[in-house]
Structure 1
Amino acid sequence: MTQKDQADIISKYIEAYNHFDIDGMAGCLHDDVIFENISGGKTGLKTEGLEAFKTQADTAAAYFSSRHQAVNQWIFSDESVTVSISYEAVLATDLPNGMEKGSKLSLKGESEFTFSDGKIIRITDRS
């Protein structure tokens, strides 16, 4: 798989994410996908398998009225692709941590993508 192929799949995945297109995101993913979100060095969420990913993605989408990831940098290695991300979102609902509906989130982080059989098999988000 070429770097261009990997970048195209990641770009398609992020575009689908930005448009709340869960099926579009899932189309980029391997059936055995593992998704992991790490914040402050601690794993906050981990899913295994495409169905678990889709369930989590549906739940997460309901929290936002808008969201947008933009890639700032691409780093290709033999094993994976890491992208530096700027993330902005607007909450659609109040959250248990005290953040209120309409609040704007702005974060920077990185996502590491690993591939198998021409699809994303692992996503590790770090912020």
Structure 2
Amino acid sequence: MKDQFTAREEIIKNYLAGYNSLNIEHMVQDLDEQIVFENIQNGEVTLTLTGLPAFTQQAEQAIAYFSERTQTIKSMNHVGNTTEVEIDYRAILAVDLPNGMKSGEELKLMGKSIFQFTGDRIVQITDIS
């Protein structure tokens, strides 16, 4: 029988595999119906979503911005019911962005994602960059 941390790591890797392959159905299969998602940039919350329908809709909209995207795990740290994942992020833009970046340009970021679990379901994701 797998320990809870190994199971969590597999769930997170599954989520990221769906993310990286632009497959929303695969990405959301382990998310709770009441998932809470937060995006934090430079210390400010830039997006908060509650519920699987809102998360799925945002994920589907975000796909249009990228021709490809990859999150690579650098490390994982388990504390209580959360797992903090250090991430290297790379994407190729499919559209021009308001910040001046152009379609075809590469975006690279380092950040972390904090996954909170209840049992084997992800109940909250906080992305920090």
Shared fold (TM-score, shorter chain, > 0.5): yes
What is the DSSP-based 3-state SS (H/G/I as helix, E as strand, rest coil) of the residue aligned with 2:95? Answer: coil
Once the two structures are TM-superposed, the CA of residue 79 in structure 1 deviates from its matched residue by 2.6
Poorly superposed stretches of 4+, deviation over 2 Å: none
Let me know the Cα RMSD of the aligned residues: 0.9
Q: What is the identity, as a one-letter code, of the residue corresponding to 1:63? A: Y
What is the DSSP-based 3-state SS (H/G/I as helix, E as strand, rest coil) of the residue aligned with 1:101? Answer: coil
CA contact (8 A) 2:81 2:118 kept: no
Number of equivalenced pairs: 127
Instruction: Give unmatched runs, 5+ long, in structure 2.
Output: none
Instruction: Give unmatched runs, 5+ long, in structure 1.
Output: none
- The superposition leaves residues 7-44 of structure 1 with CA deviations (integer Å, 9 ceiling, x where unpaired) of 01000000100000101111010000001000000011
2:124 is aligned, of 81, 100, 122, to 122
1:86 is aligned, of 85, 88, 92, to 88
- 1:95 paired residue number: 97
Q: What is the identity, as a one-letter code, of the residue corresponding to 1:86? A: D
- 2:4 paired residue number: 2
Are 2:68 and 1:66 equivalent residues in the alignment?
yes
Once the two structures are TM-superposed, the CA of residue 60 in structure 1 deviates from its matched residue by 0.7
- 1:112 paired residue number: 114
- Give TM-score, length-normalised by structure 2: 0.96
**Kindly, what percent of the aligned residue pairs are identical?**
40
In structure 2, the CA distance between the partners of 1:2 and 1:117, relative to structure 1 (3 Å rule), is closer
2:14 is aligned, of 12, 15, 20, to 12
What is the DSSP-based 3-state SS (H/G/I as helix, E as strand, rest coil) of the residue aligned with 1:47? Answer: strand
Once the two structures are TM-superposed, the CA of residue 98 in structure 1 deviates from its matched residue by 1.2
2:59 is aligned, of 57, 60, 64, to 57
